Structure 1
Amino acid sequence: MNTKKLIFSTVVIFIMYVLMDLTFYGLFEEKMAGKADRPASEQNQLLPFIFFGLFLASFLFSYLFDKLSDGEDKIREGTKYRIILGTFMYLPLFLIFYATRDTRPLDAWLINAAFHIIQFGIFGIVVAYIRGKVIIDSSGE
C-alpha cells in the first residue's frame, strides 16, 4: 500500500464528499429536512463532528479500495465499489432511519441512498485513478 497515495486519495475524497453533500443537501434541503433533525444553530456548533465523520469515511473508503479492487479497468472498479460499499452503507441505514428516526417520506430516504450510491461510484473511479490500480488497458497490453 502506497501511503502517499492513500493520504492524497483520502484528502481528495474528503473535499469531494463535502462539496457534493453541500450541493445535494442544498438543492433538496426542503425534501431532506426531517422533524428529528437538530436546529441549524446546533448543527453549526457540531460541524467538527460532521467533518471528522466525513474525513473518517473518506479514509476508510480509500483504505478499503486496496482490499476490494482486483485490477480491472477504472470504470468497472468504480462501479463495483459503488455497488458494494454504497449499497452496504446507505441503503440499509436509510431504511432503518425511515422506520425509526422521523416522519421524512420513504422516497426522500431512497433518493438520499441513490445519491450516495452514485457518489460512491464517482469516488471509486477517482480513487482508482489516484491509486493506479488498473493493470489491464482496453488494448490488452
Structure 2
Amino acid sequence: MPIEKFKNLKGELLSPITQAIVQHLEANGPSDAMAINQTLLRIDGYSDDAGLVALRSRLRKLCAQDQIHRAIQNGKLLYVAGPDPQAADVGTVPTALTPPPRHNVMQGHYAPSWTVARAGALDYAKHPSLHMGQRREFRSEVV
C-alpha cells in the first residue's frame, strides 16, 4: 500500500481529546477554557496536572486548523466551534509587493561624507607607544 494512504489530512481530529473539545463546543455553544476543562476531565488520557497550559495550547492548535475560533463576549474569552466568520471578511492578501526603491549610484556627482574630527581626537599621537618592547613615536600607516 502506498505511503500516501497512511498520511493524515491536515486538520483531521484524531485525538479523543480534540474530538471531545469540538463536540462540546458544537453541543453547548461558546464556552470558556474552564468549562472545556471540566468536560475533558471525563475523557480517558486527559490530565490537568499542568493546569490550563496544555489545554490552551491544544485550543490554539485547533484555532490554527480552523476547527474552532475565539470570540470575546462581555469581556470574557470564549471558544466557538467552526472557523472564524470574520476572517473571511478581512479581505485578500495582496499578491504583489511594492519593490524597494532603487537608487542609481552610478549617476551624478560623488561627494564623500567625511566628518571633521573633534578637537583633541588625535592627542594620543603625541605620546610614544610601545612596539616590541621599545618606545617609539606614533607613525601613521596611511601616510
| TM-score (normalizing by structure 1) | 0.30
Report the structure, 1 or 2, having the larger strand content: 2
**Larger Rg, first or second structure (1 or 2):** 2
| TM-score (normalizing by structure 2) | 0.30
